[in-house]
Structure 1
Amino acid sequence: MTAHSFDPTRTGLLIVDLQNDFLHPDGAYARGNQKSADIAALPERVLPVANALRQKGGWIISTQFTLVPGKGGEPFISPHLKEIRPFLTKGDFAPGSWGQALVDELQPADLSVEKVAYSAFYMTRLEWVLRKAGIETLMVCGIVTNGGVASTVRDAHVRDFSTFVLSDGCAAFSAETHECAIGDLSTVARTMTCSEAATLIAGA
């Protein structure tokens, strides 16, 4: 895709799960000692893309993993997640909470969508708001590459969105897992670095 065929006003930077409870030192994952330098570095790396798109009239979309509270505020947690993240508890990733929110560095988002599973399209309003906003192209970044990012990208592909994956704007808990996921996603989306994306946007 060249700058001449790329319309930033119909493009959304889809930020998958870059939330305080995942990334912040006071968040739920830090409390559970689930930390990654690669993940922590993402907001700074993605910010120039977000700023370039804002300047060109594009859209910033934040998907926010959410643990929906049930009776007494106890969250519904899928069995597989409870098994691998036993530290998750009441108040973590709660709707409207600080922990659920997009990290400060990338605020504000034009559109925010709660999600309850890997894919940001699964049982959410994401496709509806994208269509209403006239968004045809998605630049996807966030965490984790092999989980929320991969599932969301594949679902975007089958919905006929023109989809890019920002290869250094995503991360997983291991570099090998990340690289394998990026290779797999290159079959359904175009991959580019954050620098390349910012350059494409600026030249459009």
Structure 2
Amino acid sequence: MDANNQNTALLVMDMQVAVISNYPDYNEITANVAKAMAFARAQDIPVYFVTVGFRPGMPEVSMNNKILAASKQRAANLSMEGLMKIDDAVAPLPGEIIITKRRVSAFTGSDLEVVLRAQGIQHIMLTGVATSGVVLSTLREAADKDYLITVLSNCCTDSDPEVHRVLTEKVFPHQATVITLEEWSNKQ
């Protein structure tokens, strides 16, 4: 892991009430991410929030997209503002950047890369829901874009604990450093 905090950012991804309330470890994951955010801020590491969001009626979503098409049908008559609300336990501070994405990866359909490059960020630390969704997709794309990547394993969760375990223990280490929040905070 890059020790230089000057070019590091913590990404808090898909921690929206509409997303994380579906997970049984909701309180544990929000508590861990909140601790990671507090630690990052204390180290002068910027915290960027990534949310998934769409226009009313979700015109950005093709019915060919298996994951998002199901959401489009369920959310057809719901307020997009309500769906994009970040959980209060991990809410941004005034002035912190919120990035809206249109697909699973934090990079796809967003200005994340523009923000990271403008701020000189070369190392991203990933947190969020789900491990097999936004974390996996963002990690893969970030690796292809030559970012240094750290995954805080206990600041991510998945609906299937075995999938989370396999990704964090067997797949992610090929492209990222995988550590716990406690390991990160004890190294600084």
Question: What TM-score, normalized to structure 2?
Answer: 0.87
Map of 2:47 onto structure 1 = 60
Q: Deviations over 1:166-187 (max 9, x none)?
A: 1111111110121122221111
The answer (yes or no) to whether the contact 2:58–2:72 under 8 Å persists in 1 is: no
Q: Are 1:41 and 2:25 counterparts? A: no
Corresponding residue SS for 2:108 = coil
Map of 2:17 onto structure 1 = 20
Matches within 5 A, 1:102-181: 102-108=86-92, 110-181=96-167
CA distance in 1, matches of 2:44, 2:15: 22
CA distance in 2, matches of 1:46, 1:116: 22
CA distance in 1, matches of 2:148, 2:114: 16
Q: Deviations over 1:75-101 (max 9, x none)?
A: 234431334785333335x2xx24303
Q: How many Å apart are 1:38 and its aligned residue?
A: 2.5
CA distance in 1, matches of 2:86, 2:71: 23
Q: Deviations over 1:2-28 (max 9, x none)?
A: xxx51223211111100121134xxxx
Q: How many Å apart are 1:39 and its aligned residue?
A: 4.1
Q: Deviations over 1:38-89 (max 9, x none)?
A: 24421101222211111121110111011322xxxx2234431334785333
Corresponding residue SS for 1:166 = strand
CA distance in 1, matches of 2:142, 2:47: 16
CA distance in 2, matches of 1:65, 1:11: 22
Structure 1: 5+ residue stretches without partners: 25-34
The answer (yes or no) to whether the contact 1:23–1:40 under 8 Å persists in 2 is: no
Structure 2: 5+ residue stretches without partners: none
Q: How many Å apart are 1:138 and its aligned residue?
A: 0.8
Match of 1:100 among 74, 84, 87: 84
- Matched to 2:9, the amino acid is G
Residue-pair matches, total? 181
Question: What TM-score, normalized to structure 1?
Answer: 0.80
Match of 2:76 among 60, 64, 89: 89
Q: Deviations over 1:130-162 (max 9, x none)?
A: 111121211101011111110101111111111
Please, what is the CA RMSD of the aligned residues?
2.0
CA distance in 2, matches of 1:101, 1:192: 28
The answer (yes or no) to whether the contact 1:16–1:64 under 8 Å persists in 2 is: yes
Corresponding residue SS for 2:140 = helix
Q: Assess, with a 3 A threshold, how the Cα gap between structure 1 residues 165 and 128 changes in structure 2: closer, same or farther.
A: same
- Matched to 2:6, the amino acid is T
- Percentage identity across aligned positions? 24
